[in-house]
Structure 1
Amino acid sequence: MTAPTAPAGGTGGTGGTTAAARVAGAVKVYGSGDTEVRALDGVTLDFTAGRFTAIMGPSGSGKSTLMHCAAGLDTLTSGEAYIGGTELGALGDTRLTLLRRERVGFVFQAFNLLPTLTVAENITLPQDLSGNRPDPEWTDALIDVVGLRDRLHHRPAELSGGQQQRVAVARAFAGRPDVVFADEPTGNLDSRSGEEVLGLLGGAVRQMDRTVVMVTHDPVAAAHADEVVFLADGRLAGRMEAPTAERVLDALKEYDRRDRSGVAT
């Protein structure tokens, strides 16, 4: 079945230079004194609407921290984070929760499905919580895109890991969010299931005019993105358009070599 299309005038992405999410001068510090850790050190970065961006870097580079702060799951020590034109630091807890529910989608490594709900109920959960009625046509098309038509009345325990992550992908896009953040979405999957999930994320960007930002350590996963952003020591270290697994792996090796040798990145 043909993938659903974005509504006219929607906020999912224009394919131009509009930023679906961005950070400016982002600093995140954990602890203080001798135990202080500077996880982000002045990162300024746009995540362009209608694009699939992967965030990569050595362990401890700040990639997960960047995603959490850009998505409003964590707060910056200084600097600014935006979803569209909305500055997250200016929002109180209630408004921030509503923004995440209505304008941001999430896909996590651990699936995070509610075990007592069916597949259909898990997919529409964000809309049910917000009191917004799901769009039946959009939801119906999503179900076909992720291939779960015959599993709608099953519960997560009755599904494979790959099927559970497909439910999570459908749930993330069900509300037509401005941007979907995916944190190691293939980390708990075998290679075949992982490829299927990455194909779904890429298809959502290219066929449904959505925006995806994915944190991953896997060069093969990153090769599905339109662009890879590299972090090192909490700073933006580089960007790569039209990545391949081989080019990404070579870049990671170089950043790791510089880190071990003490060369600034």
Structure 2
Amino acid sequence: MSAPAPVRTAAAARVTDAVKVYGTGGTEVRALDGITVEFPAGRFTAIMGPSGSGKSTLMHCAAGLDTLTSGSAFVGGTDLSDLDDRRLTLLRRERIGFVFQAFNLLPTLTVAENITLPMDLAGGKGAAGSREWVDALIDTVGLRDRLHHRPGELSGGQQQRVAVARAFAGRPDVVFADEPTGNLDSRSGEEVLGLLGRTVRELDRSVVMVTHDPVAAAHADEVVFLADGRLVDRMTAPTPQRVLDRMRHLVREAPEPTGSART
């Protein structure tokens, strides 16, 4: 059994009327409150919002890492709610890439082995074409001279570049990045963000990134802003100052938190 075949759509991923509720009764937290949003194919989108706004919850539900209480989540033209656990696992493996704040590299594998891990897990399907793709990807992320090193021999920025290359290795429909520069110094963070942007533009990929950093968000083509589990604004051609000003406005408007499930 394989994951559903990708269908090219204008949106790499989207959610419709997305609701996510944690807890019941007096402890209930509505982490997502009827959000409808598309993440365009071939674009770099950042998700921002005050603490507790639901940005990580949105990413996890859009990526199939968590399920919605109601509403729909799609990757390409595939409705995630139509998939059983096995097909959802295959879809995440074959059509979605992930970059996390913690690099999540396997310490016993070399850089080359870490990068090709998604292809190896998928059984090497389309290996010839994929090897050519990975070879080009290695040059894009600047790791040609580090292929035989292990993660412990690399700097944090280099490890995150390996994680980025791994995320794109299987040519996924979309890559979700959760605070990808959170563990990096400013210089390394700028390098990784520039890399994500170049990969979108030069290799026609799609990236959705959760971040709290206005400078990071300004690398995106568009920023979507959440507050209290709702979509409240979108910004194209962002700059750090414009994003910071919008975030300050949202923080001033944010209600007092009633729970900790939203992130």
Scaled by the length of structure 1, the TM-score of the pair is 0.92
Structure 1 unmatched ranges of 5 or more: 1-9
SS at match of 2:254: helix
Higher alpha-carbon deviation: 57-66 or 146-155: 146-155
Aligned to 1:39: 31
Aligned to 2:113: 121
Within the candidate set 139, 143, 151, 1:144 is matched to 139
Q: Is the 8 A contact 2:6 2:78 kept in 1?
A: no
Aligned to 1:4: none
The alpha carbon displacement at 1:136 in A equals 1.6
Cα 1:12–1:164 shift into 2, 3 Å: farther
Structure 2 unmatched ranges of 5 or more: 258-263
SS at match of 2:61: helix
Aligned to 2:260: none
Aligned to 1:211: 206
Q: Is the 8 A contact 1:12 1:178 kept in 2?
A: no
Q: Is the 8 A contact 2:140 2:199 kept in 1?
A: no
Within the candidate set 129, 132, 156, 2:151 is matched to 156
Q: Is the 8 A contact 1:53 1:229 kept in 2?
A: yes
**Cα distance in structure 2, aligned partners of 1:120 and 1:132:** 14
SS at match of 1:150: helix
Within the candidate set 217, 220, 225, 2:215 is matched to 220
Aligned to 2:167: 172
Deviations 1:70-104 (A, max 9, x none): 00000000000000110001101100000000000
Residue type matched to 1:179 in 2?
V
Residue type matched to 2:173 in 1?
D
SS at match of 1:171: helix
Scaled by the length of structure 2, the TM-score of the pair is 0.92
**Deviation >4 Å, runs of 4+:** 10-13
Q: Is the 8 A contact 1:219 1:245 kept in 2?
A: yes
Aligned to 2:176: 181
SS at match of 2:250: helix
Deviations 1:39-64 (A, max 9, x none): 00000001010110000000000000
Within the candidate set 57, 60, 63, 2:55 is matched to 63
Q: Is the 8 A contact 1:12 1:209 kept in 2?
A: no
Aligned to 1:87: 79
